[in-house]
Structure 1
Amino acid sequence: MLAAATLAATLIAAPLAASAGLLDYVGQCVPFAREASGIQIYGDAWTWWGQAKGKYDRGHTPRIGSVVVFAKTSRLPLGHVAVVSRVVERRVLMLTHANWSRQNGERGHAEQDVTLYDVSDDNDWSEVKVWYRDVEGLGGSIYPVEGFIYGGRPSPQLTSRNPDYVGALIDAYVPGAGR
């Protein structure tokens, strides 16, 4: 029993296998974001914002390779972290992250270049909507965001060669798109 617990702890703490592609990952958002961004913070996603203070630059302007930190809420009791893969325009980004949408009935899978839309009143990325596979468009929930953590070394697999910029803009600006 102890050997199984030790093996499980090792697998959870281990970085993503070098031989596996970033997008083959299945698991929690935190180890995925750490591997995809190069930002070395550990612990629940909602703690990343505070942990980054004094260690990494932080701000409220998205940059490619930065980690966006979703606040802890009743819907996200551990928060969420994702990596900015593209800046489409001032209120629309693309994210690469894990453990958001369901794929084949299960959570944990990595998703590349999904839409993140700033819906905050002040255009400051404090509230967002996220593309959700189950509805093939932006989900209906609005999530509070702490901000962006800068300074890692993003994975070369962070974004695709031909991301769907038009699709991201349609997701954000066309009422009812994807529904």
Structure 2
Amino acid sequence: MIPRILLLCLLGAVTACTAPRAPVVGDAQSTTSSAYVKLAHGSRSGPLSESWNDRGDDLTSASRVPGQTTLASLPRIPQPTRPRPAILSAGRHLECVPYARKLSTFTIRGDAWTWWTKAKGQYRRGAAPQPGAVIVLSKTKRLRAGHLAYVAEVLNEREILVHQANWLNRGRIHRYTPVRDVSENNDWSVVQVWYTPSQRYGSGRYPAYGFIYPSDRDGPDIRQAAN
């Protein structure tokens, strides 16, 4: 009797171990079974991952789709850089007036500070910077004849880059020199000039008349004029 009972228990244990069970959503068996797809072309199959979409397309290789380019293969676009201020030798002592006249094509002559009144009736004048214009600084104790600077580039409403000569009476050419408006009314009536040797704005504040603008037909190419 006892051996028969033991035999029945053993048969029950074997049946319990081998009986199929319904797969549970999310378990290892169902996940593994659904993790394989058959491609539309051929009999190749593989694990479904982020590199494959629902149609079996390989998204990691641009060569599988003719004409497709990945971001990694795109050439880098160089970012424009601001020209650095530089001081060049003119080979001789060069004044600001002939240098400004050469770059701007203005025909005005005389001391720098006189250009403002002489430009009246010949050229447009104003208080807003513009590429190709000339800014006229007033005559002061430090600038006994005034000063002229050619506007090479407008950075914003209150800062420009200029080309000038004989700044602080040294007869050299200063290219891409920053100049900023420090007037109370934001009208460019007072400016500060970058001092290139120390790589910062100078402490001096210089009164300015404003800007003389070239005629439309006389506007030179800014970059070409700078060379």
TM-score of the two chains, using structure 2 as the length reference: 0.55
TM-score of the two chains, using structure 1 as the length reference: 0.70
The higher relative CO (CA closer than 8 Å, separation ≥ 6) is in: 1
Is the Cα contact below 8 Å between 1:101 and 1:133 reproduced in 2? no
Counterpart in the other structure of 1:93: 160
Of 145, 154, 173, which aligns to 2:220? 154
Q: Secondary structure at the match of 1:125?
A: coil
Unaligned runs of 5+ in 2: 1-87
Counterpart in the other structure of 2:73: none
* Number of residue pairs the alignment of both structures matches: 134
Partner Cα separation in structure 2 for residue 49 and residue 31 of structure 1: 16
How far off its partner does 1:101 sit?
5.3
1:115 aligns with 2:178: yes
Partner Cα separation in structure 2 for residue 98 and residue 70 of structure 1: 13
How far off its partner does 1:158 sit?
3.6
How far off its partner does 1:24 sit?
5.7
Superposed CA offset, 1:29-62 (max 9, x none): 0000000111111000000000000011111111
Is the Cα contact below 8 Å between 2:177 and 2:196 reproduced in 1? no
Larger radius of gyration: 2
How far off its partner does 1:137 sit?
1.4
Of 85, 93, 99, which aligns to 1:32? 99
Partner Cα separation in structure 2 for residue 71 and residue 126 of structure 1: 9
Q: Secondary structure at the match of 2:171?
A: coil
Counterpart in the other structure of 1:6: none
Q: Secondary structure at the match of 2:135?
A: strand
Counterpart in the other structure of 1:46: 113
* C-alpha RMSD of the superposition: 1.8
Of 134, 138, 144, which aligns to 2:201? 138
Identity %: 45
